[in-house]
A and B are shown apart, each in its own frame.
Chain A
């Protein structure tokens, strides 16, 4: 009975994997809707796919005092803006003393770079023709949703200077006067809104209301952010740019990955026999899931080192299996049956796998939250790899092995196990009866508890 259901379960897992593999590599179209394969949907970095570039030049007539450090500051803010938008692999470099060169990966139209960076907008609040505060007084501009009014807004936090000026402008005697919020893009002024002063605002928070959509609010917030740049920039040129490494590098890495994966599978099957085969099968599932997550999680732009990192994570994913199998071997050597060794092996290996992976997760999470640019992107890839490999070893491989053992739990040879000196004549499944009994007892116990709990509840209601 158990054997039959195990075969069915294994077939289902196998089928799901095949479907996953197809979805990963073959684009499918239903009527007019097209689904890109996971592998194709993964965004690639500048080195593998190229993207667009734009060169910004400092506007004429600006002060050149501290130019170098101001350019550095502008560059950092631009880079942060790009990372915020999920372009962790975008680069910003100084080109000479007065220009910045931005490269954004995996975008095909040069015009899109403006969608990403936004056209820098200068902001000012005017009261009766006098400027109250400008974008320079803005510490941060974020898109928000005003639940009371039910509309999207841009919230501004002002610096101390701006707070004082804004407080003075909104004092009681100016009540009911209009404040105009004006932005200047490419030298053209436009008034976004002219709210009336209701109350004095002392906390340094200003809100721009009347945004049409979340997108509009976000765009304005970005424009204001880029308008605060220490150096005013205009676009000099922008166009597409080819990958620095190109298609050959990508293809060779993929070939290397496939060969490496195949060798690992051969190694595992030779050393751990049936267990190794299960691990190899899990490895295929791991690859499918990895591709899926890389495709859907934002902030991932795979670069060549990223691919190498994933290949390495495949090696590390096997690691957890090796730990478990060595444990199982050890337990079997020590006289347990195959089934009992399996239970003990997974149980004992659990904490060592958990602890070792959590430590790495800590490192990855810190790098994600505190690192910048490409470090952040690499940390995401690392985190996906670790969490997935832990899940694979502790959940997926474990279940598959259980089903396989239900089909056969008596062949030493099949699993590559060997008895220790003291237990040479012990049968491979000699203690199975007792284990199965304990298993059944545990299950009865669980069911009993459930029934009991339900019963208890029923009793209480009565």
Chain B
């Protein structure tokens, strides 16, 4: 285990150290102490390492992550895991807005709640939230899966494309062109796999699936009122 005290090492030196780890590194376990809400912690990683941040983080922790596993033992600031490509981010506390924005792949797990615009413009990432999510989540979501074990706020999935949403609790309102969908066997299997990967014990049959009604895919003036 390599331990970095961020208050002593500084952001640049710490990220540089993590960026220098290659695919064959044997220093796979890293611990960052004294994060104190700093921004851009462990962003741009591209190696199969596991980084544990002992405390809360600011903006864009683990942004654009590739391969790495990043554990946040605290709450996470805005844009955590933005544009994640692969790997895994696990947040023990709550996540602020724009969690996993535009994420292309990998998985983000939130043990607490996630704020507004969770999964905005998601492009393939899988996000599993044990608690609730805020308004405008998965706005313009293109692909990937958003799993919510609690409730979803207003305008879930507004103007979404092919992303899928599974919500166990209530949805305050659906966004434009987002509708309730049939939960078929294939979706139950998919959801079970996502919950297992996230390490969350929940029954897939208790969830409802939502997704695009696909009525806004090509511009039609008769739909102008929907925007």
A complexed with B: no
- Chain B residues with CB under 8 Å of chain A are none
Binding site for B on A (CB under 8 A): none
